[in-house]
Amino acid sequence: QQQVKQSPQSLIVQKGGISIINCAYENTAFDYFPWYQQFPGKGPALLIAIRPDVSEKKEGRFTISFNKSAKQFSLHIMDSQPGDSATYFCAARRRTNQAGTALIFGKGTTLSVSS
Amino acid sequence: DTGVSQNPRHKITKRGQNVTFRCDPISEHNRLYWYRQTLGQGPEFLTYFQNEAQLEKSRLLSDRFSAERPKGSFSTLEIQRTEQGDSAMYLCASSSYRGAQETQYFGPGTRLLVL
């Protein structure tokens, strides 16, 4: 059972356009929702994160919108640039049985920004 | 470089051989996580340490897998009697717990190919 569903699987956006990636979750016990960016051959790097008591968070060109009642959240990349071409993962943090914090990841979205 | 480091970066082995990977977390980070990432998928949680204590193991971690974190610093992940299905990227992440804002920082990963 996939706990975090991410769409679309791939996305092509023109330079300067808006990239939108969506995620939905099932477990209401999740308490933290980060987005990671991954380039080929590299580990994931934290991009931006949000807690469920906040509906929107913006950092530069990146914005997370969060809808707690719908159990959905999305990443918006404004003024998309070729350097943004990467794979993006949404994730949700769940509490492990010893107060740890394992991340549950979506399957990823491969973004290509054409120049 | 003060980020998470992993060695080796690549490992090719024959089915049935044992392999060991090493992760050096960011200094002062007391939490260390291992994840596995297969092609086209997001990382999947394997196990987690707080200091030297292994506090949770995913059911993905079969008996052939063992992880240690002696002295609460670096960690090793050993796979015994490797199988072709073990081929994946093995990612290590570390964090310093700060309540709800815990951020996991990932290393570059070790890519394993089992022939």
Cα–Cα distance for residue pair B48/A71, rounded to 1 Å:
27
Question: In this complex, is the C-beta atom of A54 within 8 Å of any C-beta atom belonging to chain B?
Answer: no
Q: Which of chain A's residues have a Cβ under 8 Å away from the Cβ of B107?
A: 43
Average pLDDT of the segment spanning A5-23: 97
Q: Would you say B54 and B67 are in contact if contact means Cβ atoms under 8 Å apart?
A: yes
pLDDT in the model for residue B8: 97
Q: Stretch A33-61: mean pLDDT, rounded?
A: 94
Of the pLDDT bands very low, low, confident and very high (cuts 50, 70, 90), residue A41 is confident
Contact A51/B at CB under 8 A: yes
Residue A98's nearest CA partner among B97, B27, B103 is B97
Give residues 59 to 78 of A whose Cβ lies within 8 Å of B: none
In this predicted structure, what is the pLDDT of residue A1?
A: 56
Establish whether the linkage from the previous residue to A8 is cis, with ω within 30° of 0. yes
The predicted pLDDT at position B93 comes to: 96
Question: How far is the alpha carbon of B18 from chain A, nearest alpha carbon, in Å?
Answer: 23
Q: Count CA within 13 A, CB hemisphere, residue B90.
A: 30
Query: Looking at chain A, which residue has its C-alpha nearest residue B104?
Result: A46
Quote the pLDDT of residue B72. Answer: 84
How high is the pLDDT of residue A95? 67
Which positions in chain A touch B100 (Cβ < 8 Å)? 31-32, 51
Q: Give the whole-angstrom CA distance, residue B11 versus residue A100.
A: 30
pLDDT computed for residue A81 by the predictor: 97
Q: Are A100 and B50 in contact (CB < 8 Å)? A: yes
Does pLDDT of A83 surpass 90?
yes
Does the pLDDT at position A33 exceed 70?
yes
Check CB contact of B54 with chain A, cutoff 8 Å.
no
CB contact under 8 A, A43 and B44: no
Mutate to test the interface with A, among B4, B91, B102, B105 (most CBs of A within 10 A): B102
Which residue among A4, A36, A101 sits closest to B102, beta carbon to beta carbon?
A101
Residue B107's contacts (CB-CB under 8 Å, 6 or more residues apart) are A43, B3, B4, B5, B6, B23, B91, B92, B93
Query: With an 8 Å Cβ cutoff, is A105 touching chain B?
Result: yes
Where chain B has pLDDT below 70, the residues are 1, 98-101
DSSP state of A3: S
